[in-house]
Amino acid sequence: MNIILFGPPGAGKGTQSKYLVQKLNAYQISTGDLLREEIKINSDIGKLITQDMMEGKFVSDEIVNKLVKKHVFDLEKKNKLIFDGYPRSLLQAKNLELILDKSNQIINYILFLNVNKDTILKRIEKRKMLENRSDDNSDTILKRYDTYMETTKPVLNFYSKNPNFKEINGNLEIDEITRKIDSFINV
């Protein structure tokens, strides 16, 4: 089973992805984690990513697609993928369809965690204390939220026509969101 979880920064995608990884014995494909790993190893790509993140921009589709592609073609992960924060643009969504088609896979569920700015700011403050992430500051998050909502509107329109698309109130408590997800995937 392959699942896409998408929503703005701080929506809880990572938390719900980790839950689904355990429940389904799957693999989390977190573009955020992939990007942070490039930053950590201080690669040339990592330096570009750092600059974009500090300016509140998203990393180019080309870089993200390249990082995701190798995981989709990993035979061990076939039909066991939880996409956390990918795709974020229409180009990424179309790229994902192409690489899934080439690898004989489909997306079984598309879950959109819809969250307002106030909830995100509260979660980011809490996450900042717990995880000490460098990209967790209010100004950067608000820029990323606005950019996310603008950039992903076409993605939302693209996927919302799919019968396996489900919008979830991401302002709910974590366990309530988890129960909603469980009711949709029936595993």
Strand order in the sheet with 3-6: 27-30, 81-84, 3-6, 109-114, 165-169
What is the CATH classification number for the domain harbouring 117?
Answer: 3.40.50.300
In a domain, 13, yes or no: yes
Q: pLDDT of 7-62, one tens digit each?
A: 887 788 889 999 999 999 999 998 878 888 889 999 888 898 888 878 878 788 88
What is the average pLDDT across 131-148?
71
pLDDT at 77: 96
Look up the domain containing 161 and give its range: 3-182
Task: Determine, yes or no, domain membership for 29.
Answer: yes
pTM above 0.95, yes or no: no
Give the orientation angle of helix 44-54 with respect to helix 61-72, to 10 degrees. Answer: 120
The CB density around residue 14, as the number of other CB atoms within 10 Å, is 18
Position 126 in a domain: yes
Judge whether 158 lies within some domain.
yes
178 within a domain of the structure (yes/no): yes
Q: Does 65 map to a domain?
A: yes
E strands, the chain, in order:
3-6, 27-30, 81-84, 109-114, 165-169
187 domain-assigned: no
Return all residues near 135 (Cβ < 8 A) that are at least 6 apart. Answer: 53, 141, 144
* Tokens coding 27: 């693999």
Average pLDDT, the chain: 88
The total number of structural domains that make up the chain = 1
